[in-house]
Each structure stands twice: as C-alpha cells, then as structure tokens.
A = this chain, B = another copy of it.
C-alpha cells in the first residue's frame, strides 16, 4: 500500500484565487499526493468572481503533511474568525510543513504557528507580520525550518516549485516546470516596489491604502486576542 502525502489547502471567501490555484495546479500533479481543498463547514467559496464548490470540511480533516494557506482581501475577515484560526492551528501542529502564499502568512501568524520565524508576505502587507511576532522577510520564497512562505500572488509558482523540490526532489520540480512551460518573460518591469516606476508605485499604494486603511488596527486586535502581540 502506497502512503500518500497529504496537502491541505484551506480556502475562504475573498481570497486572491491565484494565491491558491497556482500552487494547487503544481501540487495536484505530484505523484502519490492527495491535495485536499477545504473550507469551514465545506461551504462554497466566492473569490473575485469565481465560485469553488465540492469542498471538504476543514473541521473534518484529522491531520496533514503540508498545510498551504492562500491570502488576499479576505485574509482580514479570516483571521478575525476564531473558529477558522483554531482549525488552522490544529492542522498546522500536525503538519510536517507549514506553508503559505501572499498574505496567507498572516493567517499562519495569527494562528500562532510561525511565531519568531522568518516569513514572506505580499510586499504591501509584509510589516503586518510584526504584530504577531513574526519576522518579515522580503524574499520571494522564504524557508525557515519547516516554514515555507511565498510572497505576493504570482510568487506562488516559485513557491510551489520550491515546495515540490523539498517534498519530492528537484527533478520532479523541473518536470512540472517544463509541463507548465514556466519560462517567464514579463512584458514589463514593475513586479516589485523596488523596480516599479514611481508613478505606478504611487498609484498602487493609493489604491491599496483605500482598501485597507484599518488593517493595522485590526491585525493588532487579533494579535492581542490570540495572545501573540509582542
């Protein structure tokens, strides 16, 4: 009997769906691996115009080898839901690898799974990790012991290849990279604040500030409630 590697991907409303679908597309093609996509109560998840159904109950999953959490706009609501964080904490404690993409690291942080560790996060939200006693790292993919985190959204692909290499070897990662034709050729150079033209950075910062003026306060409230505020 083959022992399957189990990956659990918790999903929630208003996640940035690409945070989740990009690594899922790679992980689901790993041999001898079961990827379980789960939400609270198994409810359908609405995320930026898409609806994901047929999900497992997060509460019904006993353990996993890899916990992989996406982020997005819905992250704030997710970390304000104690029942959700409790499930993340429970599964994270059973996992060999604790992982995330984008602001998913804020969920790991709020669940108390990565206190004192280095973690990546979306560039615009990275400093929020400090409220949970987590050390922000500006790497695209950051490994600290058994914690593997990716930066914003599309970093999920580089993250997935790194995770596949860790779990099943570099050659499988290279095979999946070739199958997914991952030889990126961005038509513009604007993917990080450090290289984006100043007027682009200003515009995006203004846009994001409007969306989340109260994020820092909300994160602090969660951190205090969960006993994590440093």
Interface-lining segment among A49-57, A89-97, A104-112: A49-57
Given A165-B187, A177-B188, A181-B192, A52:B49 Cβ within 8 A: no
Contact status B191-A186, CB under 8 Å: no
Residues of B within 8 A of A180 (CB): 18, 152-154, 191
Please tell me which one of the listed residues B155, B187, B197, B207 contacts residue A158 in the complex, with CB atoms under 8 A apart.
Answer: B187
> Which of A74-82, A128-136, A167-175, A219-227 participates in binding chain B?
A167-175
Contacting residues, chain B, for A28 (C-beta < 8 A): 48-49
Contact of A184 among B16, B52, B157, B199 (CB under 8 A): B157
Is the CB of A83 closer than 8 A to any CB of chain B? no
CB distance from A31 to the nearest CB of B (A): 10
Residues B21 and A49 in contact, CB atoms below 8 Å apart: no
Indicate if A4 sits at the interface (CB-CB under 8 A): no
- Count chain A residues whose beta carbon lies closer than 8 angstroms to a beta carbon of B: 65
Each complex incorporates copies of this chain amounting to 2
> Using Cβ atoms and an 8 Å threshold, which residues of chain B touch A157?
154, 184, 186
> Chain B contacts of A22 at CB under 8 A?
18, 21-22
Question: Chain B residues near A141 (CB, 8 Å)?
Answer: 185, 187
**A184: chain B residues within 8 A (beta carbon):** 154, 157-158, 184, 186, 191
Give A87 to B13 CA distance when docked, in angstroms: 31
Q: 7 tightest A-B contacts by CB?
A: A152-B181, A183-B191, A184-B184, A174-B190, A51-B54, A18-B25, A53-B53
